[in-house]
Amino acid sequence: MNDRIAATPPATLAELLRRGNVFAEQCPSREVLKHVTSRWGVLLLVALLAGTQRFSDLRRKVGGISEKMLAQTLQWLEADGFVARIAHPVVPPHVEYSLTPLGIEVAGKVEVLADWIEFNLPAIMAARAARESGPD
Amino acid sequence: MNDRIAATPPATLAELLRRGNVFAEQCPSREVLKHVTSRWGVLLLVALLAGTQRFSDLRRKVGGISEKMLAQTLQWLEADGFVARIAHPVVPPHVEYSLTPLGIEVAGKVEVLADWIEFNLPAIMAARAARESGPD
DNA sequence: CAGAATCCTAATCGATACTG
DNA sequence: CAGTATCGATTAGGATTCTG
């Protein structure tokens, strides 16, 4: 990755940002992060934590997702090595999606974030309300 | 929140997805998640972990961000209670942004995710390469 | 059933210019 | 300096149709 900032030794994204470098946008990780944190990426990853599922299962489970977005997001995640796709060559096509070991890990991180937000929603909404009415 | 699924007792997003409900899209947490995982939201949160900073500092530090997006994203995060904005009423305007306690927490989760990706990029790229050439 | 292809709309983003 | 306003370009995303 980042050829031009390769000199910086042990740099996580966080490190880079703290230092002031931050042209990490030309780094592949930006792309991966985008897939993972995309609207449907988050939901699909968490949904797939429940185990192997078929295309239509996911479509039903995730809800408002269109076929197009489902297919596209699955392809992103597959290309990133997070999702494994297994197509059974039977007459009515049967394809199963599951998380790879790598995918299980990211999905875990995403789930932590999503759950934190869900859990802290009351506090968040409270802070929002307090700001609106309170300290004008 | 979610009036219609209020019956479900202790439901995290993950729980909802695993069960098959998942119409969490009409839930405020979807919005918060969107702000937090947005392209610039991620970067700003992590950047702000370094401490209080001014508008132009953030603009410089985050890099490719436009003024518009910086202002907008900061407003989102402020409205969600993650960022505190302090404007000093001096002649050349001086405004400082920092994370609230709540913001420090989410930023931490986001940082974990971002760092995981950064750290595992080699493995991700390897998986990608292997799939392209290998098991046709 | 799984998905590719097409078309189309609405939202997003970025650059520029302007204001207090 | 710290924004807001506006506009054009890009993109995400949805609905529909078609195929193996």
Give the pLDDT band (50/70/90) at residue A135.
very low
Closest CA to B33 of A131, A56, A46: A46
Are A113 and B71 within 8 A, CB to CB?
Answer: no
Which is more confident, A29 or A13? A29
Give the pLDDT band (50/70/90) at residue B86.
very high
Closest CA to A14 of B100, B65, B47: B47
Q: In the prediction, which pLDDT does B25 show?
A: 57
pLDDT reading at A71 higher than 80:
yes
Strand nucleotide closest to residue A34 (CA to C1'): D12
Asked whether residue A89's C-beta has any atom of DNA/RNA strand C within 7 A, the reply is: no
| In the block, residue with structure tokens 């202002």 | B71
CB-CB neighbors (< 8 A) of A61 in chain B:
17, 20, 22
Using the structure, give the distance in angstroms from the CA atom of B28 to the C1' atom of D19, rounded to a whole number.
40
| DSSP single-letter state for residue B67 | H
Copy the structure tokens of residue B104: 């420090």
**Closest residue to D1 (CA, C1′):** B93
**Closest residue to D6 (CA, C1′):** B68
Say yes or no for a CB contact (<8 Å) between A29 and B63. Answer: no
Query: Which residue in A has a C-alpha nearest to residue B109's C-alpha?
Result: A113
Asked whether residue A19's C-beta has any atom of DNA/RNA strand C within 7 A, the reply is: no
Say yes or no for a CB contact (<8 Å) between A114 and B43. Answer: no
Give the pLDDT band (50/70/90) at residue A102.
very high
Nearest Cα of chain A lies from the Cα of B69 at a distance, in angstroms, of 15
Has domain A26-133 been given CATH number 1.10.10.10? yes
Q: In the prediction, which pLDDT does A4 show?
A: 43
The rounded distance, in Å, linking the Cα atoms of B124 and B28 is 32
Are A83 and A76 within 8 A, CB to CB?
Answer: no
| DSSP single-letter state for residue A54 | E
Domain boundaries, chain A: 26-133
> Is residue B125 within a helix (H) or strand (E), and if so which, with residue range?
helix B101-133
Helix, strand, or coil (residue B84):
strand
pLDDT reading at B89 higher than 60:
yes
Helix pair angle (A28-37, A101-133), 10° resolution: 70
Mean pLDDT of A64-85: 92
Give the pLDDT band (50/70/90) at residue B19.
low
Show which positions of strand D are touched by protein (CB under 7 A).
1-6, 12-17, 20
Asked whether residue B93's C-beta has any atom of DNA/RNA strand D within 7 A, the reply is: yes
Say yes or no for a CB contact (<8 Å) between B42 and A33. Answer: yes
Distances (CA, A) of A70 to A8, A92, B72: 38, 19, 29
pLDDT reading at A2 higher than 60:
no
Say yes or no for a CB contact (<8 Å) between B117 and A36. Answer: yes
Q: In the prediction, which pLDDT does A94 show?
A: 92
Overall size of chain B counted in residues: 136
Asked whether residue A67's C-beta has any atom of DNA/RNA strand D within 7 A, the reply is: yes
Are B54 and B96 within 8 A, CB to CB?
Answer: yes
Nearest Cα of chain A lies from the Cα of B10 at a distance, in angstroms, of 9
Using the structure, give the distance in angstroms from the CA atom of A11 to the C1' atom of C19, rounded to a whole number.
41
Mean pLDDT of A64-75: 90
Using the structure, give the distance in angstroms from the CA atom of A88 to the C1' atom of C6, rounded to a whole number.
28
Query: Which residue in B has a C-alpha nearest to residue A82's C-alpha?
Result: B124
Q: Each residue of A33-69: pLDDT tens digit?
A: 889 988 889 889 999 999 999 999 998 888 778 899 9
Q: Each residue of B43-83: pLDDT tens digit?
A: 999 999 999 999 999 998 887 899 999 999 999 999 999 99
pLDDT reading at B7 higher than 50:
no
Are B60 and B75 within 8 A, CB to CB?
Answer: no
The rounded distance, in Å, linking the Cα atoms of A16 and A14 is 5
